[in-house]
């Protein structure tokens, strides 16, 4: 089954943090699926 990436993201309501599950506001795509709080934790 082939799905267009654009449609795939359109179906996504919001980004969700893979760590805590909080909704992520679209700010920096480079952050992936992790919210700022979890990023601070992961960051050394
Ligand atoms: Zn998080």
Dihedral pair phi/psi, residue 7, rounded to 5°:
-65, -35
34 vs 42, residue with greater confidence: 34
Three-state secondary-structure class, residue 28: coil
| Ligand 1 centroid – CA 5 distance (Å) | 24
pLDDT at 14: 74
pLDDT at 32: 75
Protein residues with C-beta less than 5 angstroms from the ion ligand 1: 17, 19-20, 35, 38
pLDDT at 36: 81
The pTM of the full predicted model, rounded to 2 decimals, is 0.46
pLDDT in tens, 1-41: 677 877 766 776 678 888 899 888 766 555 578 888 888 75
How far apart, in whole angstroms, are the C-alpha atoms of residue 18 and residue 37? 12
């Amino acid at each position: 089954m082939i799905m267009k990436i654009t449609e795939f993201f359109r179906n996504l309501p919001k980004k969700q943090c893979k760590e805590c599950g909080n909704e992520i506001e679209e700010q920096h795509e480079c952050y992936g699926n992790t919210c700022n709080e979890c990023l601070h934790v992961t960051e050394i």
